[in-house]
Amino acid sequence: MTHQHHTVVVSEAGDGICVISINRPQRRNAVDPATARKLYEAFLAFEANDSQKICVFHGNNGTFCAGADLHEVSKLKPGGTEKSRTFEERSIGPMGPSRLQVKKPVIAAVAGHAVAGGLELSLLADMRVVEENTIFGVFCRRWGVPLIDGGTVRLQKVVGLGRAMDMILTGRPVDANEALNMGLANRIVPVGKSLEEAISIARQLVQFPQLCMNADRDSAYHAAYEASSFREAMRYLLLNILYPESDTTSTTSPSAALSFQKPTPDYIDAGRFIGSIRYHISLLFGDFGVGASLSSLKVVYFSAATSTAIIRVPRNHHRLVWAALSHITELPRTRAGEAGPKCVVRVVRVSGTIRKAEEELLRRAKRDVVRAKMAMDGKELPWMVGLADGTSKGKAKEAGDVSIRSIEDLSGDEEDESG
């Protein structure tokens, strides 16, 4: 199916692939305000159509886009009425969809010139398949026209600041081979083959579980554009593995209290533990959870002797992992196939840095040594005394308990440390 809008052509390549084409051959696909509006609307329609999974973006007649149509721009009245003059999130830009972070994957099929605003439009895509005759460049430099459609933001994220500054300051042409070397191009194909190759790649992407793929894509963009540091992109969860015993009759005796915290069996290592976390994430959240949290999920510390661990997870999805940890009720089976011990996994600290998690780990280890010594000496633990005689939670804390903390308390820690 093809929808002809004169300067913008929207078609379907089947299998959930949308093709958006610029069609102004008389102006080498330069974009005027009317074309910008149509491009913007075409990308919004692609996002809204659940049957369309991947977009291929290209220019008809052997040229991707020569930038803004300066002849048409010169006709605009000073101060114009274009809403794009005032930046708003997801608003239309001078080149149309340039201010969008498109919600589904986009592959640009680039031929001929992709210069000035055309370069900026190509950067809207996740990947760029370029033909051997492709030329990229900030050609608007020679006319005194700035990059106002995301070029200064996206270009340096794609090729690095040094190479981006070279292109931005000099305005020089960059051919296909150099573009491939600097990461601006992802594939080089013969002249006339970029659209075919881009659609072929799109068909590969359509075959993958979409929730998982798009969750990984979102996480990558968050880390690139929104997180100012690795710390802001990640969270560290300090946790204890506890072993409640069904035959425990008194929870106020020191021995009963200490029985909850025992060494973890030797057959459990970081690899098997992370496998258990992944299994429970998939049970609870399916493909979405797997994609949202597992790309950077890692055990950075694991001690079977103390039944403690620190895991790293993307900040945006750490609550999914937290929920999965709460869902674990027994450890993986032994190598002999026997059932693993019953357990409870308790998250005791959420931190923005590994250092904070390590400091809490050491503090708790010292506290447990004191408790163990008191139990061996036959003394009651201060916090257990408070709970046994009806002392309030607040006073029990004053007596030495630092482990009774609600999820709201932990969430507060996270917010305090995220800055």
Domain ranges in the chain? 2-207, 217-417
pLDDT in the model for residue 413: 40
pLDDT for res 367: 75
Q: What is d(CA 270, CA 381) in angstroms, rounded to the nearest whole number?
A: 32
Q: Which band of pLDDT confidence, cut at 50, 70 and 90, is reported for residue 74?
A: low
Domain 217-417 has CATH 3.30.420.10: no
pLDDT digits (tens, 9 = 90+) for 212-228: 788 778 878 877 877 65
Query: 3-class SS at 14?
Result: strand
For 264-395, list the strands marked E by DSSP.
Answer: 298-303, 308-314, 344-351
Average the pLDDT over 36-58 and give the result.
94
User: What pLDDT shows up at residue 164?
Assistant: 94
Tell me the sheet residues that pair with 269: none
pLDDT at 294: 58
In this model, does residue 150 exceed pLDDT 90?
no
Residues 6+ apart with CB under 8 A from 294: 278, 281
State yes or no: pLDDT of 401 exceeds 50.
Answer: no
Average pLDDT of span 303-318: 83
With a cut of 90, say whether residue 65 has pLDDT above it: yes
When mean pLDDT is compared across 81-85, 159-163, 339-343, the lowest value belongs to: 81-85
d(CA 393, CA 387): 8
**β-bridge mates for residue 298, sequence order:** 312
Residue 200 confidence (pLDDT): 95
119-130 pLDDT, tens digit per residue, is: 999 999 999 999
Distances (CA, A) of 208 to 170, 205, 211, 282: 41, 6, 9, 16
Contact 352, 235 (CB under 8 A): yes
- Model pLDDT for residues 376-388, shown as the tens digit of each residue: 666 554 444 333 3
**What is the arithmetic mean of pLDDT over 163-191?**
95
Q: What are phi and psi of 61, to 5 degrees?
A: 65, 35
| Whether pLDDT at 400 is above 60 | no
The domain made up of 2-207 has a fold known as 2-enoyl-CoA Hydratase; Chain A, domain 1 (3.90.226)
